[in-house]
């Protein structure tokens, strides 16, 4: 029971890349001028929001594995399989792109959009009257979206170990054995 709980919690943590959220939380007060925006601040804030949102979605299409050299390798998941960054000529057909990757990307983007668009500085910058008139929405919507997305990922945990996440024991053994067998030299003797 405890392993299942920790595994589900680990899947929930992987919903948003912490580096992306940190970058947004660090840059947002600067680019929004702490909510006191002019046209330039709105453009800069929009660029940061879009870039961080794309980063959240992109991380859903990354994976890592332990290669035959016992080193951790990273790659992008494609319809043909994992395309490693370090050895692009050695495509890994073990982990192909599937519907769950797009669902994870959409939910990650949704959670980040709620986090980013309902941030106090963003609200003051883009729609200042919204906080006064829709205070209950600002309090309820992030929690509701978080519970929904968290529930989906607790029921359907993610098998990917994206960039910046530790390998878990289940996927580590699967990735290592599958990738190592595929990349091992063939002995024709």
| Both tokens assigned to 179 | 């990738």
Integer Cα distance of 120 and 128 in angstroms: 9
Phi/psi of residue 28, nearest 5 degrees: -55, -45
pLDDT value of position 180: 41
Task: Tell me what the mean pLDDT of segment 153-163 comes to.
Answer: 77
> 134 or 34: whose pLDDT is higher?
34
pLDDT value of position 18: 72
Integer Cα distance of 19 and 58 in angstroms: 13
Q: Which 8-state DSSP code applies to residue 134?
A: T
Length of the chain: 189
Q: To the nearest whole number, what is the mean pLDDT of the chain? A: 76
* pLDDT one-digit tens code per residue, 113-140: 998 988 889 988 888 887 777 778 878 8
**Confidence band (pLDDT; 50, 70, 90) for 165?**
low
> 172 or 76: whose pLDDT is higher?
76
* pLDDT one-digit tens code per residue, 53-98: 998 888 888 888 777 788 888 888 888 888 887 765 555 666 788 8
pLDDT value of position 49: 94
Integer Cα distance of 60 and 54 in angstroms: 10
Which runs of E-coded beta strand occur in the chain? 62-66, 72-78, 81-84
Sheet holding 81-84, edge to edge: 62-66, 72-78, 81-84
**Confidence band (pLDDT; 50, 70, 90) for 174?**
very low
* pLDDT at position 176 over 50: no
């Amino acid at each position: 029971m405890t392993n299942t709980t920790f595994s589900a919690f680990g899947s929930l943590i992987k919903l948003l890349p912490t580096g992306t959220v940190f970058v947004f939380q660090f840059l947002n007060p600067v680019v929004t001028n702490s909510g006191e925006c002019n046209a330039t601040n709105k453009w800069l804030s929009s660029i940061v929001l879009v870039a961080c949102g794309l980063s959240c979605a992109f991380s859903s299409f990354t994976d890592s594995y332990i290669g035959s050299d016992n080193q951790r390798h990273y790659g992008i998941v494609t319809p043909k399989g994992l395309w490693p960054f370090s050895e692009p000529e050695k495509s890994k057909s073990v982990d192909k792109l599937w519907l769950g990757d797009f669902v994870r990307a959409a939910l990650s983007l949704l959670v980040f959009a709620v986090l980013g668009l309902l941030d106090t500085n963003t609200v003051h910058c883009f729609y200042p009257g919204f906080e006064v008139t829709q205070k209950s929405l600002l309090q309820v919507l992030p929690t509701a979206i978080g519970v929904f997305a968290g529930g989906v990922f607790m029921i359907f945990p993610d098998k990917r170990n994206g960039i910046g996440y530790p390998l878990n024991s289940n996927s580590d053994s699967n990735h290592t054995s599958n990738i190592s067998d595929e990349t091992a030299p063939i002995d024709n003797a």
